[in-house]
Structure 1
Amino acid sequence: MSEFFLAPVPQTVLNTQGEVGFGKFSGAIADIDWSGLAAPYQRSALWRAVHHKHWQYLALATADIFCGIAIVDVGWTNTAFAYAFDRKEKKLIASFSQDGLPGLTASINSRPALGATSHFHFLRNRIDFTGGSATGSARLTLVCGDFSIHAQLHEQQAAPALTAIGTVVGGTVHATVKSAGMPMTGEVQAAGRRYSLDDGVASTDHSNGFLARETDWRWASAHGLDVGFNLQSGYFGNNENALWLDGKLISLSAARFDFDPANPLASWHITTDDGLLDVIFQPEGCRREDKNLLIAASRYVQPIGTFSGWVKAHPAAEPRAINNLVGVTEDHFSRW
C-alpha cells in the first residue's frame, strides 16, 4: 500500500538546470518560480505573459456560514471575488466581484506557504492574505463595503499540505499547493450580522502555471480536521487528487464527477478509479458568475453543501464513513 503515500516535497519546482521536478508530494513547496524553466517547456516572454495563471483561494466553513475568497492574476489582467453563504438560510448574504487593473490592483507572490502574500486593492475594497507567519498562523483581512472578514488560520495544527507539479494540455507546466483542513478563529460581518469562525475549518489553494487559452475543470474540496479531500477532473488530470485521513496524506487516482451541468443544485456523485472514495454531494446553494469580455470569457458555478459516503486509506482498508462534511464542488470554463 506504500504507493498511496506521498514523498516529501522538494524545495523548488525547478532544479539548477531548469528541469521540472514533476510529482505529487507531501508538504508545501517553498517557492513556485518558473523564471529558470528550461526546454522543452520554455516559451517566449510574450507567450508566458499571456498564458501565466496564478491564484490564491481560501475557503472558510462553519456550521452557520461558508466563505470563498479568491485573488486571480491571469497574466494580462487580474480579478478577485469573495462571498458569504448563510448555511441556515441557504442563501448568499454577501458577494464581491471586481476586475482589476493590470499590474496595479493584484499581487500574488511565488511562495504558497511560508512567506506567502496575496493582495487585491480596488478603490476602498481590499483583500489581504499573509501565510506562514512566525506564529504559525496565516491571516486574512477583507473589507469590501459592509462585508468584512478578519480571520486567523492556524496552519501548524494542520496535516501536511499537498504539492502537485505536472503538465497541462495546451499549456506547459503547472503547480498547485492545497492545504489540509486547519482550525481558525475570527469573525465575518455580512448583511448586518456577525458570524464567529472560531469553531470552523479553513483550507487554502495556491496555484501557479502556464495554462491553455481555453481551460475547464470539475472540482470538489471538503475539509474537516481529521478527514478531507481535493478532487479535480479536467486540465490537470489526477495530479492534485488526494485524501487527508487522520493526519496522513494519501494519493488518489482519477476522479469521476456524475452530475447534471444544467442543474448543479441536484446531487453530485463523485468516485475515484482506485476505489478509495465514493461520496454524494448535496448542494445547499451556490455562487455562479458568467463573464464575457470579448477577448475573454468564463462560466463558473460553485455549489456549497455537504458530502456523505466513504473513503479508504488503501484498497484493503475498511471504509471510513463521511457524514455531512462541508465543502464545495465546481464546474468551470475559462477562455483567458
Structure 2
Amino acid sequence: MSSLAQLIGTDGQPLYGRLEAPVQDINFTDFDLRTPMGKAIPPGRRGRRFNQFQFIGIHSDAIIAGLAIVRLRWVCHAFLYLYDTQSGAWKEHKFTRPLTSGLVFGQRPNDDVTAFRHGRNRLTIRATPRPGIRQLRVSLADGTRIRATIDESTGYDPLALCTRTGFTGWTYTQKASARVCHGRIDWQDRKYDLEALGALACVDWSGGYMRHETSWNWACISSRLSDGRSLGLNIAAGVNETGYNENTLWLDNRQIALPPVHFRFDRYHEKHGWALTSADDSVRLHFDPVTAYRDKINALIMASNFSQYLGRYSGEIDIEGETLHLERLWGVAEDHYARW
C-alpha cells in the first residue's frame, strides 16, 4: 500500500482534498494553529485542541458489533455494543475517563496502537502495515472477548480526505468498508466465528481541529450484494463538505466516489425510516432502523447527543452505467451533535 509521509507540510499547512493515498503521520502539532483573530498557538498547546477517534464496525447476518475509542479535549471515552440479529439480544458498554487517563492514541492511522483501559476492561486496536492488518482485541470484566483481524492488504484502497473545518481548523478522515474480517467474538456463552459468518468490517480513523460546535449524519454498510460482490458504503453530511465530500462506495474493494447525499429523517420519531438521496438521483436508499446505541452528555465543558442506529438498507445506486440493487443489507445510520 502506497502512502503519503506526513499531512502537515513545511509551511505549517495540511494537504487538502481527496488524497491519492492514506497518510502515514498525522503530524498535527506541526500545523500553524491560530485563534480566529490570527494569534499563533504554540506547539505545546496544540495537542489540547486536537480531537481524534477510531471506530470499528463488524457486520454479519448473525452478529453486529461497534466499537469506538475517542480522545477529546477534556475526557477520553470508549464504547462497545453487540447485537445478535437472530435473538435480538443487545449489550452495550460505556467508559469515560478524565483527560487521557488510560488512553493510548497515536497519530499514525496504519502503523500504531489505539487503546483504552478502565479497570478490568481493555480495548485495543493495533494497525500493522506489514502484512497489512488491523487487530481488534477486547477483554471486558463481564467475560466478553473479541479477537478479530481485519485484512488491509489485498485490494486495500481507503478513502483519505482532509478538509477545512471552521475558520482555522481542519479534519482528516481515513475510512474503508467491507473489509474481510476473521476471528471470534465470545459473548453471552456464545462463540461467533467471524470467518464462518462471512463478517465484513469498516474502519474510521478521524482527527483534527474540529469545530467547537458541530453535527453530522453518517451512513455505513459492509455487506454483500445478492450476486456475491462485496459492497462497502460511506456517506456523510455536515462535517467534511468544505469543497469536497467523503461519500464513497467500494465494490469488490474498488473505490468509487459518490456525489453529495441528503439525509431525510425524523429525529424525534426514531422508528420511522430514513431516506438518503442525491441531487442527481444516482443514490436512492431507504434505511429501516431496528435498534440503536445512544449516549447523551450535557456538561459545562462539553455536550454530545449521539445516536447510532442499526438497521437495514434497501434501494439503488447508479454507478458507471450499472444499477446496484440493495436488498435489506445490514448497516448503520448516525445522528450526532457535539460541543467540545
Q: Normalized against structure 2, the TM-score is what? A: 0.89
Amino acid at match of 1:327: G
Q: CA deviation at 1:287?
A: 1.0
Cα offsets for 1:220-241 (capped at 9, x unmatched)? 0112362221111112225321
> Per the alignment, in what secondary structure is the counterpart of residue 30 of structure 1?
strand
Cα offsets for 1:85-139 (capped at 9, x unmatched)? 11113341x21101113232111111112x1210001111100110125332211
Judging changes above 3 Å, is the alpha-carbon distance between structure 1 residues 73 and 200 closer, same or farther for their aligned structure 2 residues?
Answer: same
1:120 has 2:126 as partner:
no
Amino acid at match of 2:247: N
1:190 has 2:187 as partner:
yes
Question: Conserved in 1, the CA contact under 8 Å of 2:72 and 2:99?
Answer: no
1:137 has 2:137 as partner:
no
1:11 has 2:5 as partner:
yes
Cα offsets for 1:123-162 (capped at 9, x unmatched)? 1110011012533221111112222211111111344000
Amino acid at match of 1:255: V
Q: CA deviation at 1:302?
A: 0.7
Judging changes above 3 Å, is the alpha-carbon distance between structure 1 residues 158 and 70 closer, same or farther for their aligned structure 2 residues?
Answer: farther
More divergent stretch after superposition (147-156 vs 57-66): 147-156
CA distance in 2, matches of 1:274, 1:156: 34
Alignment counterpart, residue 63 of structure 1, candidates 34, 45, 61:
61
1:176 has 2:170 as partner:
no
Amino acid at match of 1:223: S
Alignment counterpart, residue 323 of structure 1, candidates 324, 327, 333:
327
Judging changes above 3 Å, is the alpha-carbon distance between structure 1 residues 153 and 332 closer, same or farther for their aligned structure 2 residues?
Answer: same
Report the counterpart of residue 227 of structure 2 in structure 1.
none
Judging changes above 3 Å, is the alpha-carbon distance between structure 1 residues 335 and 50 closer, same or farther for their aligned structure 2 residues?
Answer: farther
What are structure 1's unaligned runs of at least 5 residues? Answer: 1-7
- For 1:26-41, what aligned pairs fall within 5 Å after superposition? 26-38=20-32
The RMSD of aligned alpha carbons is: 2.2
- For 1:71-86, what aligned pairs fall within 5 Å after superposition? 71-86=69-84
Report the counterpart of residue 148 of structure 1 in structure 2.
145
Amino acid at match of 2:283: L
Q: Normalized against structure 1, the TM-score is what? A: 0.90
CA distance in 2, matches of 1:310, 1:273: 14
Q: CA deviation at 1:206?
A: 0.3
Report the counterpart of residue 3 of structure 1 in structure 2.
none
> Per the alignment, in what secondary structure is the counterpart of residue 23 of structure 2?
coil
Judging changes above 3 Å, is the alpha-carbon distance between structure 1 residues 263 and 159 closer, same or farther for their aligned structure 2 residues?
Answer: farther
Alignment: residue pair count:
325
Alignment counterpart, residue 52 of structure 2, candidates 54, 60, 71:
54
CA distance in 2, matches of 1:219, 1:171: 24
> Per the alignment, in what secondary structure is the counterpart of residue 11 of structure 1?
strand
Alignment counterpart, residue 104 of structure 2, candidates 101, 107, 132:
107
Report the counterpart of residue 297 of structure 1 in structure 2.
303
Cα offsets for 1:283-334 (capped at 9, x unmatched)? 22111111223321211111111211122224xx131212222210000111
Report the counterpart of residue 205 of structure 2 in structure 1.
206
Amino acid at match of 1:210: Y
Question: Conserved in 1, the CA contact under 8 Å of 2:177 and 2:234?
Answer: no
Judging changes above 3 Å, is the alpha-carbon distance between structure 1 residues 322 and 232 closer, same or farther for their aligned structure 2 residues?
Answer: same
> Per the alignment, in what secondary structure is the counterpart of residue 206 of structure 1?
strand
State percent identity of aligned pairs.
26
CA distance in 1, matches of 2:78, 2:168: 23
Divergent runs of 4+, >4 A: 39-43
Judging changes above 3 Å, is the alpha-carbon distance between structure 1 residues 101 and 158 closer, same or farther for their aligned structure 2 residues?
Answer: farther
Q: CA deviation at 1:170?
A: 5.4
Judging changes above 3 Å, is the alpha-carbon distance between structure 1 residues 148 and 257 closer, same or farther for their aligned structure 2 residues?
Answer: same
